[in-house]
Amino acid sequence: MELKAHRGVAAALALFAVTALVVYSCAVNPVTGRSELALVSFTEEEEVALGANAYTPAVQQQGGFYRDKALEDYVQGVGMRIARVSHRTNLNYRYRVLNSAVPNAFALPGGFIVVNRGLLVNLKSEAELAAVLGHETGHVTAKHSLAGYQRAMAANLLLAGVSVAAGGKAGVMKLSNITASLVENGFSRDQEREADWLGIDYMVKAGYNPGGAVRLQEYFYEQLEGGKNPMFVEGLFRTHPFSKERLDNARALIAERYPDTVRNPNYTFNETVFQQQTARLREVQKACGLADQGDKLLKEKQYGEALAKYRAAIDREPSQAPFHTSAGRVYLVQKNYPAADRSLRRAIELDDAFFEPHLLMGILRYLERDYRGAIPELSRSMDLLPTKQAAVYLSKCYEAIGDTQNAKKYAEMAQ
């Protein structure tokens, strides 16, 4: 998506918001059936557009998709079992795996749902996966993310609307920040509780043993207790506040609503199937651990040691594009341009739809003074995720070839 398109969506949303500045309306919550007071009522089409607008940058900023077609199909299949028994079966749900070591999952308005490989790899059964996806589906069906957007809009409406309506950059940034809040801002405890309950209801209707939800909550509690796993604090617990009360509530809800399901063989955990379907992920995770060590060394500017970790990861799993991108980044820092070129080319061959190798390849071409070769790589990077860094280099490239109009345009974008 081009930056121009992002600005168009932002402007449309802002202008729409301004017209509704003093208009409060009631919308029926599809889960509770109650009328709720809202600053702005979104049609379903507008809700989906809002989620779609946040989806691509959120995925790009957090590592891109984890590329494994069989695993993607499996997760989508489990998700659709949940979606078909949810309160909003008409949405076009997308359940994907994000290539991030951070244990997390998130949902965006309109049915865009992601689970990170860092969480998926630690689950033990399909029922636990169904509990995760059911919980995130509950956030969508109850419009929790949409409620968060409306709160952010209320806080930023006047400044964003007036500035965008006047063509100002501040408004675009405000709307961009609001959109980012759909992923970054956490849910309230009440929303988390409701999503837990909805997730259990959905997974039981889909034929899963609700004990999977309890096992999931027990696992979360284990990671939280005593700060055992800081990665969970960085990821899941930051956006999905956890407490032992949620675990106790899950047990109580199942005992009250579904006492006959826990030992009923018709309600499955599907542990064997899950282990088979995620076996490849667990194998790749060993190489990911090496790459994660490389990332830490890179931050410490220990370039040789970092490169050794990336090369070891590539030796184990040569088909994983991020490892080649990371190696290319180090080669670029070391000014080993031929090696950087080989690594980045391979990363792009394996995954053309991630912004970072294109950005690094564009920078490499610029450093080699191949300005015309740099422009398409940097432009592809901007299409996937507009960044100031890419805009700076595009401005420099256009200036170098004498295209002052584009040089000025991208310089303004970089400000």
Give residue-wise pLDDT tens across range 114-165.
Answer: 999 999 999 999 999 999 999 999 999 999 877 777 666 665 554 444 343 3
Tell me which of 332 and 170 has the higher pLDDT: 332
Report the mean per-residue pLDDT for the chain. 85
**pLDDT beyond 90 at 15:** no
Chain mean position to CA 184: 10
What token pair was written down for 30?
Answer: 């599809």
Express as a percent the part of the chain with pLDDT over 90.
66
Cα–Cα distances (Å) from 46 to 51, 87, 109, 140, in that order, read 9, 18, 9, 14
Q: How confident is the model at residue 39 (pLDDT cuts 50, 70, 90)?
A: low
Alpha-carbon Rg for the chain in angstroms: 23
Residue pair 307/331 in contact (Cβ under 8 Å)? The answer is yes
Residue pair 411/398 in contact (Cβ under 8 Å)? The answer is no
- Residue ranges per structural domain of the chain: 44-145+170-271, 279-414
What token pair was written down for 184?
Answer: 């970054």
Amino acid at 387: T
The CATH superfamily holding the domain 279-414 is: Tetratricopeptide repeat domain (1.25.40.10)
**pLDDT beyond 60 at 24:** no
Distance CA 15, CA 333 (A): 44
**pLDDT beyond 70 at 185:** no
pLDDT at 3: 41
Stretch among 41-55, 235-249, 268-282, 370-384 having the lowest mean pLDDT: 235-249
Which H helix or E strand runs over 282?
Answer: helix 279-299
Tell me which of 90 and 174 has the higher pLDDT: 90
pLDDT at 188: 77
pLDDT at 103: 87
Q: How confident is the model at residue 239 (pLDDT cuts 50, 70, 90)?
A: low
Segment 294-348, tens digit of pLDDT? 999 999 999 999 999 999 999 999 999 999 999 999 999 999 999 999 999 999 9
Most confidently predicted of 161-175, 211-225, 338-352: 338-352
Residue pair 59/97 in contact (Cβ under 8 Å)? The answer is no
Residue pair 174/17 in contact (Cβ under 8 Å)? The answer is no
**pLDDT beyond 70 at 9:** no
Residue pair 10/163 in contact (Cβ under 8 Å)? The answer is no
pLDDT at 214: 95
Tell me which of 363 and 43 has the higher pLDDT: 363
Distance CA 399, CA 396 (A): 5
**pLDDT beyond 90 at 79:** yes
Q: What are phi and psi of 47, to 5 degrees?
A: -65, -45
Residue pair 200/253 in contact (Cβ under 8 Å)? The answer is yes
pLDDT average, residue stretch 361-387: 97
Angle between helices 3-19 and 144-165 (to 10 degrees): 100
pLDDT at 251: 93
What token pair was written down for 140?
Answer: 């969508």
Those residues with Cβ within 8 angstroms of residue 69's Cβ, 6 or more apart along the chain or in another chain: none
pLDDT at 6: 47
Helices (H), 85-188: 117-120, 126-141, 144-165, 169-184
Which H helix or E strand runs over 115?
Answer: strand 112-116
What token pair was written down for 132?
Answer: 């995760």
What is the pairing mode between strands 94-98 and 112-116? Answer: parallel
pLDDT at 11: 43
**pLDDT beyond 80 at 74:** yes
Which H helix or E strand runs over 45?
Answer: helix 44-61
pLDDT at 30: 74
Most confidently predicted of 37-51, 169-183, 385-399: 385-399
**pLDDT beyond 60 at 51:** yes
pLDDT average, residue stretch 263-276: 96
Most confidently predicted of 26-35, 158-167, 192-201, 222-231: 192-201
